[in-house]
Amino acid sequence: GGARVKPSRAALLVVLLAAGCVGRGDVRERPAEWEEIPCGNCLVTVYGTIYVPPGRLAEFTTPPLAPATEALLAHEMVHVERQRDGGAAGAAMWHARYFYDRAFRWGEERVAYEREIEVLRQRGGVARRADVLEAVLSPIYAGMAGREEAGKWLDGLGIIR
């Protein structure tokens, strides 16, 4: 086969804009066509639909859900709710800002991670500072925060061990 081309952010935005109407938090398996999206084992919320990695759908849809799974879904539901503001046009703007505006992306992820941590604690789990720090500094977020900034945010939460 020929060389594979990694999609640009603009190409990903076209995929997002073609995704259709805004969902209500349905959970689906990521389509095979998305294999080039550089998120590996992460969840992705697009136009209000939560996409899970291939082969993991049952983990996110078959009760009882593990506390960490519930917390991840709560994180993604923050994105669903915020994408739904303003309907399809609002969702398109949300996605464009998320891709191109580092400060917006960081703000959105802080709200989502705070919800994830809250749900994890409610379910008896523990959010470990090092794990959350590693997650927010992951390359999938394209440099939305530096280590010092993210560390100060975590310190300010007062709920991380």
Within 8 A by CB and 6+ apart from 131, the residues are none
Planar angle of CA 104, 75, 71, nearest 5 degrees:
155
Which runs of E-coded beta strand occur in 23-91?
A: 27-29, 44-46, 49-52
Nearest Cα neighbor of 84 from 129, 142, 45, 32 is 45
pLDDT for residue 2: 47
**Sign of the torsion angle spanned by Cα atoms 74, 79, 82, 83:** negative
Asked if 113 and 136 count as a contact pair (C-beta separation under 8 A), the reply is yes
Question: In angstroms, how far is CA 29 from the centroid of its own chain?
Answer: 14
pLDDT for residue 24: 76
**Cut 0.85: pTM above it:** no
pLDDT for residue 22: 63
Question: Which residues of the chain are under the pLDDT cut of 70?
Answer: 1-22, 86, 159-161
pLDDT for residue 1: 45
Q: What is the pLDDT of residues 39-68, one digit of tens each?
A: 778 898 988 899 999 899 999 999 999 999
